């Protein structure tokens, strides 16, 4: 698992529920163009299979998706800037 994330330094636990089982890498901004930017800027978090692609996981749960994006945006702005965030991802989640 790649660990160049600006959102978290803890890759031993699921970002949402804290479990250590079945962890996968989630690109906070997914979709063809966004995934590349997520990779480039370290907008990634570890999620367990359940919180990732499960029925209530981030890929099926809009609320959870927004929550993670919001946290990622805050971290992004600490490392880069709000202007850069808007340029890259085009939407304010805060
Ligand atoms: Zn989890
Ligand atoms: Zn994902």
Tell me how far the alpha carbon of residue 16 lies from the centroid of ligand 1, in angstroms.
Answer: 5
| Per-residue exposure over 29-54, b if at least 16 CB sit within 10 Å of its own CB, e if not | beeeebeebbeebbbbbbbbebbbee
> Distance between CA 61 and CA 52 in Å, rounded?
10
- Percent of the chain past pLDDT 90, that is, above it, reads 93
Q: What is the structure's pLDDT at 33?
A: 86
Instruction: Give me ligand 2 centre to Cα 80, in Å.
Output: 23
In the 8-state DSSP scheme, what is residue 80? S
The pLDDT of 72-92, averaged and rounded, is 96
In this predicted structure, the answer to whether residue 14 has a pLDDT above a threshold of 60 is: yes
Which is nearest to 58 in space by CA: 20, 29, 93, 89? 29
Copy the structure tokens of residue 11. Answer: 């890759």
Q: Between these two residues, 1 and 31, which has the higher pLDDT value? A: 31
- The ligand with the least distance to the CA atom of 27 is 2
User: DSSP character for 3?
Assistant: -
What local confidence, expressed as pLDDT, does residue 3 receive? 73
Q: Give residue for tokens 């996968």.
A: 24
For residue 20, what pLDDT is reported?
98
Residue 64's pLDDT is 97
> Which tokens hold the place of 94?
């805060």
54 CA → ligand 1 middle, Å: 9
What are the pLDDT digits (tens) for 29-72?
998 889 999 999 999 999 999 999 999 999 999 999 999 999 99
């Amino acid at each position: 698992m790649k660990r160049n994330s600006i959102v978290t330094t803890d890759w031993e636990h699921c970002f949402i529920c804290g479990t250590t089982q079945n962890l996968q890498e989630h690109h906070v901004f997914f979709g063809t163009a966004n995934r590349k930017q997520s990779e480039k800027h370290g907008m990634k978090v570890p999620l367990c299979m359940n919180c990732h692609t499960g029925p209530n996981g981030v890929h099926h749960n809009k609320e959870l998706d927004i929550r993670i994006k919001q946290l990622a945006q805050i971290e992004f702005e600490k490392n880069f800037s709000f202007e850069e965030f808007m340029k890259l991802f085009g939407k304010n989640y805060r």
